[in-house]
Amino acid sequence: MSNFLDELRNDHRDFDSGKLTDFFPQTPFELFELWFNEAIKNHEKEPNAMVLSTCDIKTYQPSSRVVYLKELLDSQFIFYTNYSSQKGKEIDLNPRASVLFFWPGLQRQVRIDGNVKKVGSEISDAYFTSRPRASQLGAWASHQSDKLEQRVILEQRFAELEKQFTHDIPRPENWGGYGLQPFIFEFWQGRPSRLHDRIVYEKQNSSWEIYRKNP
């Protein structure tokens, strides 16, 4: 391990993929869509993967995990999960959260802070119906974030559900979508000499204030 860490410490590669000008779209959603499409064209692996960070207000302990952006709807970043999971419980107590997109090939990050709330049941139903049958069964089988003594218990539960649901599988009541409504975007572009570009959009009433940050 120490040799591996030594290699990392001695890795002084510079950032030289691009830069940000001082002419920006009026809204951060326009810039995000531009960057997202460029990530797809650049063949970034899983460009819709985002790190979701939530915080338990009882202990003030943050927690992070990778989820997938499934839709940008009405200026909300939509993802799906089990409402009874750790992140679901933390969102119930503290609806403020942060997501982070990282596209290493383009040397770019986008951090988005906002308020999270459940989407309408019709949106969750439509997405659940579109999922593969095995994924639908998995949503029923997994008591997400609960302790699991043996994996075989989960597999047995899955097998039982396969027999139970012979036709259409309904969406579990404790599974569905959340929408993050942003109030801050930070666009990060790697630049030479670690003089990176950091462009912030901050919501001010009905408009967005745009400014730079020191790297």
CB 67 within 8 A of CB 91: no
Pick the catalytic residue: 13, 96, 194, 198? 194
Cα–Cα distance list, 6 to 3, 10, 22, 38 (Å): 5, 6, 38, 34
* Residue 162: partners with Cβ closer than 8 Å, 6 or more residues away: 137
Question: What tokens were used for 9?
Answer: 């410490």
Question: What tokens were used for 157?
Answer: 């539960």
Query: d(Cα 63, Cα 40) in Å, to the nearest integer?
Result: 28
The radius of gyration of the chain's CA atoms, rounded to the nearest angstrom, is 20
Measured distance between the N- and C-terminal CA atoms of the chain, rounded to whole angstroms = 30
Cα–Cα distance list, 43 to 15, 20, 47, 207 (Å): 19, 21, 8, 33
Query: d(Cα 69, Cα 79) in Å, to the nearest integer?
Result: 5
Query: Is 9 noted as a catalytic residue in this protein?
Result: no
Active site members: 194
